[in-house]
Structure 1
């Protein structure tokens, strides 16, 4: 076989750098990025195996359980082809050994499984005449894909009259269920055979080991599991409203007990959020997490793909027990020094190593936090789309309503909850706070000081309610400080600013006006720590006064 067997990989440009993503749900991994993840495995293997190379071992097995372009399997094969040259001198025999015994994949759609086979075998059929794998006897080879269906549960039940008999019957309404494995909605994903179901086999099982044995025809144990799982179940958009599913893939992969696992996922799990709180708690408390490489800057890791909160990859090692090495990347280069730390020192993963000593100083005072003061969603029980009345005319007890980008009115008796807050001074904060910039530096909107006789819809949270205007103004001024916004940023990976993002902010006495300078002195921040804090959070363009304009954002 010619030494040019892998020339497709070396073309300029590499074909796998030119493939457009099919959607934001299933993001293709650029080859350069995949190789950084493989470098991480190479280093860890060498350190744990007396300096030996993982690529020189003919018995190591690899699985990409959610392969799309096949880039991970292709790059693994290329490295093994070089590393095994001494152990298996004949190139044809060596490549065949690697492809038939060492690298395995599970396609996530029919299209991507064919693409992965083309990348790996140089043929969309593993046993085709052009395939570089000579021992594989099936068209799929070691890249499995079959269409499967969701398992719908929880359908709504309706009582109807029997069409021919004088009795009632119970009918299960199609289109109203959800998949018991991934939570997909039947209305969205109950599709005909002409469309992909996106029912991924790897997470649609109660017994992952039995599934793997069924797919590959024997009990399999993989030394390395690597990949880039689907991120979410699309609901027609992209963002926090869509349900994340990448955590389901990671959990199934770790249940296979590999020696090493390395995955690239959105970084939102660092602070939890929709469907991720339990996953975050498990991952932070798992001392087998050996390293995390974080890319917080929008678009940096995957150009053209908007993943709010950035992405990261982590290396999990079965036989490791210790602190995790955390490294931030920015514009392709390490930002600051890597640090070894136990991730469960806080209830969220603090992304920047430089932020940890600042937070430790704040926490050392053991002060109550603003999370206990800030309201939950729908502070007055009114949804974002509640319209209210255009004017207070004809209302007996009119309440001024801060609604979505406008002012409306409502009858006091029509407020579903917390009507007692109407007569107090309130500080309102918009629930969605941030900009569309690639680099976020403000983190909170301008506080709105709302006097007695006011309420709000779900667009806002009541950050605090007070008996006097002076308290409300002092509290609003406190929320505008860079210090507060910095602590918020540590818990706020996306534009969503629920009450939990205030969980690191001390609830201080409002008898005095808190400025950044006073706060830096209170918590004994060093000049270097102040410089880092201020490099992360921009000064407010107007540090005096607050606004009573609904929905005004920091821009």
Structure 2
């Protein structure tokens, strides 16, 4: 019998580099990237096991609990097939041992389960005549999938009369899944469509679920994979909520020896509903290594994941600082540093930024997040627009809104009426572009004088008694120094109040320039060069005091 899948690995192209992603939510991992993660795993295993090569151990078990293309399992099988040649010399016996005793997966959909089996067993049926496994007696083998349904809860209950029976019945609307938060309106589907109710996270007891799937005595040494990223949360437009953190938490709940996962990096400093997850992960001193890809499209070509992606290795028996490495254009950049992740309330992703931030924090100055407004400074949504002129308005207020300035009566502004009469500095709430990497981080400030307000398209970053103070504050926000400190907390286009929490509230007794700020915080030439490599200057256009200037990335 010829086992072509193992003797022809050098052929081009690899089919798993040619398949299109299902969506930005369920991204196929490129084989090269999967192998980088496996290299990281192998190095950590060797460090923890007196130099042992993990691929020579016939007893190590691996689980991909959210397999899509099967690339992780396939590459693990390939490595074990080479590594176990001395332990199990017969190729057929060796491959069968690996597939039946060492590698396991959970498909996320029917389609991806079939694809994963084809990648790993060379047949979509594990017990079929073309399968390279010989001991399975089921079609699934060790790659499990069964359709799972959401469990709806909450919502609004209404009573209606059944038109056929005239009985009063309870009808629920706006319910969400109690496990993943999916909306019933979006995901209550017929049998012909996927529910995206992933079995791995739709359970109260993950250990019981694994026992149900693979047996009571199943304990995995390594859990590795690339979980689904998000689901529509029923919000406006394409609003979606992340779910990858749910998979990570369930996986770590299985207490593996090692866990390696690739996810979006936005959890480092932001992300909808990720505050508790971020706090937990930063405080977990079992985080052994993080490899970060901040450049858009680099890790997953063609897939637009704001803030980039990263993978981390978690070591159950480790307790210490985490090693962090940044990858740019395929190469490590900057220093590879080891530090505790919970030094701040967010993860500062670039190691070169840490000493700069420490110098700023050493002065123990107040920070700008205390000045900056909440999301709706005047209680007005983005879609609110006033009139084109002041005609007919009793007390007209100039309103800065989405893409244009209009006029609104003061009586129509629901909150913060007193702010209308202040000098204000506004910046757009969403700031960024489709470029591979953001370089401005903050739109040019708008000086808004007395008699003005804004919709939630803007934040009021500061309020002042005089135009001079407002201008000096705006000049400060335009500096590379201030925008660099903002960048340390800004992982996506969104720029809420918390991204200003590293920026010092400097005295407005002079016109601040980068040179003066570098001198104030005693920055070295290398530190200045790093800031200026990360943040592009704004042009010299005067501040807008009457129109609307969008983010100029």
Residues of 2 paired with 1:239 and 1:210: CA distance? 38
TM-aligned CA deviation for residue 537 of structure 1: 0.4
Q: Answer yes or no: is the 8 Å Cα contact 1:404–1:551 preserved in 2.
A: no
Residues of 2 paired with 1:8 and 1:239: CA distance? 47
Does 2:54 correspond to 1:79? no
Give 1:327's aligned residue. 325
TM-aligned CA deviation for residue 388 of structure 1: 2.1
Q: Secondary structure at the match of 1:202?
A: coil
Give 1:144's aligned residue. 144
Distance 1:82 1:162, change over 3 A: closer
Does 2:21 correspond to 1:57? no
Give 1:509's aligned residue. 507
Q: Secondary structure at the match of 1:106?
A: strand
Q: Answer yes or no: is the 8 Å Cα contact 2:159–2:171 preserved in 1.
A: no
Normalising by structure 2, we get a TM-score of: 0.97
Q: How does 1:511-526 map to 2 (within 5 A)?
A: 511-526=509-524
- 1:434-460 deviations in Å (ceiling 9; x for gaps): 121112110100100001111000100
Give 1:172's aligned residue. 171
Distance 1:267 1:474, change over 3 A: same
Residues of 2 paired with 1:525 and 1:205: CA distance? 51
Q: Answer yes or no: is the 8 Å Cα contact 2:486–2:500 preserved in 1.
A: yes
State which drifts further: 432-441 or 120-129.
432-441
Give 2:404's aligned residue. 406
Residues of 2 paired with 1:206 and 1:418: CA distance? 44
- 1:61-98 deviations in Å (ceiling 9; x for gaps): 00000000000000000000111111111000000000
TM-aligned CA deviation for residue 25 of structure 1: 0.5
Q: Secondary structure at the match of 2:278?
A: helix
Q: Answer yes or no: is the 8 Å Cα contact 1:428–1:448 preserved in 2.
A: yes
Give 2:281's aligned residue. 283
Give 2:22's aligned residue. 22
Normalising by structure 1, we get a TM-score of: 0.97
Residues of 2 paired with 1:164 and 1:397: CA distance? 57
2:251 to 250, 253, 256: 253
TM-aligned CA deviation for residue 217 of structure 1: 3.1
Give 2:337's aligned residue. 339
- 1:330-369 deviations in Å (ceiling 9; x for gaps): 0100011210000111111111110000001001111110
Does 2:113 correspond to 1:121? no
Give 1:157's aligned residue. 157
Residues of 2 paired with 1:458 and 1:472: CA distance? 20
Q: Answer yes or no: is the 8 Å Cα contact 2:162–2:169 preserved in 1.
A: no
Q: Secondary structure at the match of 2:216?
A: coil
Give 1:390's aligned residue. 388
Give 1:198's aligned residue. 196
Does 2:378 correspond to 1:380? yes
Give 2:298's aligned residue. 300
Residues of 1 paired with 2:6 and 2:369: CA distance? 56
Unaligned runs of 5+ in 2: none
Residues of 1 paired with 2:198 and 2:65: CA distance? 10
Give 1:39's aligned residue. 39
Residues of 1 paired with 2:23 and 2:147: CA distance? 19
Residues of 1 paired with 2:294 and 2:236: CA distance? 18
Q: Answer yes or no: is the 8 Å Cα contact 1:328–1:336 preserved in 2.
A: yes
Q: Secondary structure at the match of 2:200?
A: helix
1:461 to 459, 462, 471: 459
Q: Answer yes or no: is the 8 Å Cα contact 1:429–1:445 preserved in 2.
A: yes
Q: Secondary structure at the match of 1:220?
A: coil
Distance 1:165 1:248, change over 3 A: closer
Q: Answer yes or no: is the 8 Å Cα contact 2:183–2:232 preserved in 1.
A: no
State which drifts further: 2-11 or 338-347.
2-11
Give 2:486's aligned residue. 488
Residues of 2 paired with 1:171 and 1:150: CA distance? 19
Does 2:136 correspond to 1:133? no
Distance 1:101 1:56, change over 3 A: same
State which drifts further: 196-205 or 2-11.
2-11
Does 2:184 correspond to 1:209? no
Distance 1:280 1:239, change over 3 A: farther
Q: Answer yes or no: is the 8 Å Cα contact 2:73–2:120 preserved in 1.
A: yes
Residues of 2 paired with 1:208 and 1:202: CA distance? 7
Q: Answer yes or no: is the 8 Å Cα contact 1:480–1:543 preserved in 2.
A: no
Q: How many residues align?
A: 553
- 1:273-305 deviations in Å (ceiling 9; x for gaps): 211111011111101000000000010000000
